[in-house]
Structure 1
């Protein structure tokens, strides 16, 4: 298997892992079970992966982690909107 294909497949699964949580939050408008600190740490980590991917010119790393940044920023935004 081509290593870029493997990277893309791994990135799709990793990046998509928070989508069910985002959908649940958007449906229920409830963020009580979310940890904003965890989201900040995750956003920082995947942002650094994007930077690393840019430095190494690795498109699978850049794309999958950029998508993960967007999903997690969306969750953090929901947290700020829906927190009590």
Structure 2
């Protein structure tokens, strides 16, 4: 059964890669709300805790990988938010 869990984890985690690559290339994460990213990150973190408690390597590996991808997206979103705020503060008013 571990192989089924690993395969499921690989498939559900790999689906994030194109979005991360697109966000990196465009430097845009406008399609992701902060609420979505925060709630999903909390859920993935809890899956990691669950996987550790159960000793389930498939759950742990899949969710740690997903967490890394989510943290990368959050980093891009933070950078994008800072750039937008700087642009607003330096643009002429009126």
TM-score, L = length of structure 1: 0.92
Question: By how many angstroms is 1:62 displaced?
Answer: 0.5
Question: By how many angstroms is 1:33 displaced?
Answer: 1.6
Structure 2, gaps ≥5 residues long: 85-94
Please identify runs of 4+ aligned residues in structure 1 that moved more than 2 A.
none
SS at match of 2:28: coil
**CA separation in 2, counterparts of 1:9 and 1:82?**
34
RMSD: 0.9
- Larger of the two Rg values belongs to structure: 2
2:50 to 52, 55, 62: 52
Question: By how many angstroms is 1:51 displaced?
Answer: 0.4
Question: By how many angstroms is 1:64 displaced?
Answer: 0.5
Deviation sequence 1:47-72 (CA, Å, 0-9, x none): 10000000000100101101001100
1:63 to 54, 61, 64: 61
Aligned to 2:74: 76
TM-score, L = length of structure 2: 0.82
Structure 1, gaps ≥5 residues long: none
Aligned length: 82
**CA separation in 2, counterparts of 1:61 and 1:51?**
9
